[in-house]
A and B are shown apart, each in its own frame.
Chain A
Amino acid sequence: MDAITLENVTKSYDAVTAVSGVNLRVRQGAILGLLGPNGAGKTTTIRMIMNILVPDEGSIKVLDQPVSDSTRDLIGYLPEERGLYPRMKVLDIIVFLAALHGLTEEEAGRRAKEWLERLGLADWSGKKLLDLSKGMQQKVQFITAVIHKPPLVILDEPFSGLDPVNAATVEEIMLEMRSKGSTIVLSTHRMEQVERMCDSICLIDKGRNVLDGEIRAIKQSYGKNTLHIEFTGNDNFLSSPAIINLTRLGNGVEAKLKPGADPQEILKAAVQANVSITRFELLEPSLNEIFIDRTTRA
């Protein structure tokens, strides 16, 4: 059974087509990275899965049921647009939203306290939301998305505004939920996080999904065409015609090779130029590169 099935989904607003003919299957128990440039149609897609918007064409199923008002209780949702009632107390708002998702108020209260404890907010449970920092509010909102243990969780930029320690905690929680069988859709621009956590990705550009599948398979299909070089000395050797794209990193470069080019030629050029090389590795492209490659293609 798939957690989410989108078939030929299209949605337009007046003159603009936001999503056009998107097909997608998300395997249950997987973490899917939903990627795409700003304005690509990610949020519209998510809103259609949430039944906040209704597609003009195509069908959407969540856990094998056509989306409806009742499928929404199967989903935990952290929207891109953050905000909770600012004058409500932290504990009250978590309990309120959890109760709306079907928990009893006692159960909601019990779980809310556990979550607040785990995310280091126990001392803040009686405070009004507006007294909390942005990062803390973000954590409260994260709790409201997962407290009812939904089989499917949709998180839109869950790490924005979180410090590295909290980001690690959230990441840990997400992996733990996957191990318990939950499916997670993660929309983010942080490629390293996607690379680390996601099983598969769906890349949307201009309303169409231009790439989807398991990350490993996608990378393999690109082949080992990327050189990771760390060195000290003159970088003139990099102006070889065999290199078609160059990304400068802190201590080196990531160079994309022309199809059929021989990486040994580059190494030779570097040695001849008396450059001291500390690392020279042929790799699959990073997700970042694939993203740029796919979304800047004419």
Chain B
Amino acid sequence: MRKLRLIIKREYLTRVKTKGFIIGTILVPLLGVAFCLLIIFLVRHRPSQTMRLVVVDNSGTLAQPITHNLDGKLENGQPEFTIVETIVHPASPDAVQQDLRSRINSEKIDAYLWIPADATQSFELHMRNPDNFALIGPLSGAVDQAVISARLSDRGVHLDDVKEILRGTDLKLLKVSEAGESVEKGQSIGIAIALVILLYTALLMYGIITMRSVLEEKTTRTMEVLISAVTPFELLCGKILGVAAAAFTQFAIWMISTALLFTYGALAAAGMGAGSALSGVHIPISLVLYAGIFFFGGYFLYSAMFAAIGAACSNEQDAQQLQWIAMAPLVFCMVIYSVVLNDPSSTTSVVLSEIPFFSPVLMALRISLLTPPAWQIVLALVLLFLTTIGSIYASAKIYRVGILMYGKRPSLVEMFRWLRYS
């Protein structure tokens, strides 16, 4: 155990002290924050200047309701629009337009709105910067609302009545379990999908690092010195655990920063009146706990497989060509996902979710969909644990025999033969 601790410590410190690790750990959350801030900035960006507007009304009725609707406020509290002047039924339209254009050019006003005599014709907004979408949006909305409202009242209908009639319904999903009912907003599948994504990302990043770490002694020719001090089993366990510790450190930092970000983000969103979509979603603690256990189990099983590939090869090129072997079951998991999703309690689903290579995802999915019998969960965990230890043990054997093999990549048949060597 003492030797194992030393190997874990060295492995962890060498990983954590690299520039790549430090930069990655800090940069990813910073990029995340920057990205979120950018989105918030873009979404919340408002023009800071009031638009000075002249309204020319050829209809005689629309100017009032339109200007009434232009009641938005800028971020600094100023109104979005000031109506400099309202000209109703201009005597000589051309002269008026001529005059307004020169006022825009001399920057006395920013724009003028031309209301046609008949609302079926085009409304015109004349301005210097026709790309000022932030203000065109509210203006267009105000015009629409005024016109629609006018058309409706011509037919004796009130706008608010129409809104009331057109309001959609809300279909509420309720999940029934022994624990009672809980509001279902897709969080069950969400958890399982999150688990697959998390497992996949973690393994893509750290499975390969584990594999490289096992190769390290071979590529640097440190192996013989090390193997004279520790057993291959201790070495491989130490490497898997050391890399895992580094991985979890990085993930923990990312998750804490994400959580902080979300908390602040939610507060900011609440200020904007959003964020209600997630309220009322209830994720049971037990589900999170199971998801965590299966995530760790899955992570260790798959890293043990990456370690085995590292143990079998003598250089990185060969190992990279073999790494699909470790990833294949996880990909297969995503393919057979829907089988379990459609009928989580069928025999097929039960059997699939007990197989160690699939259980981290499929058993977690079943747990999130319904509550499987306790023995099934326990059996899956025991099998997962035993398979993990078994693969590390097999890797250690392959490693020991592989010491003598240089240059040549072993075939799968040879690797199985090595398992029988003493």
Question: Which residues of A come within 8 Å of B, CB atoms?
Answer: 13, 47, 50, 52-54, 69, 72-73, 75, 77, 79, 81-88, 96-97, 99-101, 141, 144
B328 within 8 A of A: no
Whether A52 lies near B227 (C-beta < 8 A) is yes
Instruction: Give the complex CA separation of A149 and B309 in angstroms.
Output: 36
Contacting residues, chain A, for B3 (C-beta < 8 A): 100
Chain B, 195-237, CB within 8 A of any chain A CB: 216, 220-231
CA distance A72 to B3 in the complex (A): 13
Query: Other CB < 8 Å A-B pairs besides A13-B404, A144-B225, 7 of them?
Result: A52-B224, A52-B400, A52-B403, A53-B404, A73-B229, A84-B222, A86-B220
- Interface status of B39 (Cβ within 8 A of chain A): no
Of all chain B residues, which has the CB nearest A83? Answer: B221
Nearest chain B residue, comparing its CB with the CB of A76: B228
By a CB distance below 8 angstroms, the chain A residues around B403 are: 52
Chain A residues with CB below 8 A from B400, complex form: 52
Known interface pairs A52-B228, A100-B230. Does A81 touch B14 (Cβ–Cβ under 8 Å)?
no
Most buried by B among A50, A73, A83, A87: A83
B221 and chain A: residue at smallest CB distance:
A83
Query: In the assembled complex, which residues on chain B have CB atoms less than 8 Å from the CB atom of A85?
Result: 14, 216, 220, 222
Known A52-B403, A85-B216, A99-B6: A79·B229 in contact at CB below 8 Å? no
Contact of A87 among B7, B14, B223, B404 (CB under 8 A): B14
Question: Nearest B residue to A102 by beta-carbon distance?
Answer: B2
Residues of A contacting B220 with CB < 8 Å? 83-86
Which B residues lie within 8 Å of A101 (CB)? 229
Do residues A72 and B225 form an inter-chain contact, with CB atoms below 8 A?
A: no
Is B231's CB under 8 angstroms from A69's CB? yes
Name B363-422 residues within 8 Å CB distance of A: 400, 403-404, 422
Partner of B222, one of A13, A54, A83: A83
| Alpha-carbon separation in the docked complex, A97 to B227 (Å) | 11
B128 close to chain A: CB less than 8 A? no
Q: Would you list the 7 A-B pairs with minimal beta carbon distance, nearest first?
A: A83-B221, A79-B224, A100-B229, A77-B228, A83-B222, A50-B228, A83-B220
Quick one: which of B14, B221, B225, B228 has the most chain A CB within 10 A? Answer: B228
Q: In angstroms, how far is the closest chain B Cβ from the Cβ of A47?
A: 8
Query: Interface residues of B: mostly helix, strand, loop or mixed?
Result: helix
Complex contacts, A52 vs chain B, CB 8 Å: 224, 227-228, 400, 403
B128-170 interface mask toward A, CB cutoff 8 Å, 1 = contact, 0 = none? 0000000000000000000000000000000000000000000
Question: What separation, in Å, do the CA atoms of A83 and B225 have in the docked complex?
Answer: 8
Q: Closest A-chain residue to B232, C-beta based? A: A52
B73 at the interface (CB under 8 A from A): no
Cβ contact within 8 Å between B225 and A77: yes
The chain A residue with its CB closest to the CB of B219 is A83
Does B10 touch A at the CB level, under 8 Å?
A: yes
A41 to chain B, nearest CB (A): 13
A82 to chain B, nearest CB (A): 7
Cα A79 to Cα B7 with chains together (Å): 20
Q: Could you tell me if B221 and A72 are in contact, using CB atoms closer than 8 angstroms?
A: no
In the complex, the answer to whether A72 meets B222 with C-beta atoms within 8 Å is no
- Give the docked Cα–Cα distance between A109 and B260 (Å): 42
Q: In residues 34-66 of chain B, which contact A (Cβ within 8 Å)?
A: none
Q: Determine the distance from Cα of A81 to Cα of B222 in the docked complex, in whole angstroms.
A: 8
Tell me the residues in window 5-26 of chain B with beta carbons closer than 8 Å to chain A beta carbons.
Answer: 6-7, 10, 14
CA distance A255 to B10 in the complex (A): 58
* Contact (Cβ within 8 A) B221 A82: yes
Beta-carbon contact of B225 and A84 below 8 Å: yes
Question: Of A85, A86, A100, A141, which is in contact with the most chain B CB atoms at under 10 Å from its CB?
Answer: A100
Q: In residues 217-274 of chain B, which contact A (Cβ within 8 Å)?
A: 220-231
CA distance A138 to B223 in the complex (A): 16
B405 to chain A, nearest CB (A): 10
Per-residue A-contact encoding for B267-303, CB less than 8 Å = 1, 0 else: 0000000000000000000000000000000000000
How near does chain A come to B143, taking the closest CB pair, in angstroms? Answer: 68
Distance, CA A100 to CA B229, complexed state (A): 6
**In the assembled complex, how far is the CB of residue B402 from the closest CB belonging to chain A, in whole angstroms?**
12
Known A-B contacts A13-B404, A54-B422; A88 and B14 likewise in contact (beta carbons under 8 Å): yes
Q: With A and B bound together, what is the CA distance between A219 and B77 in angstroms? A: 107
CA distance A81 to B220 in the complex (A): 10
Cα A79 to Cα B226 in complex, Å, equals 10
Contacts of A72 in B (CB 8 A): 228-229
Contact residue among B6, B228, B231, B422 (Cβ-Cβ distance under 8 Å from A79)? B228
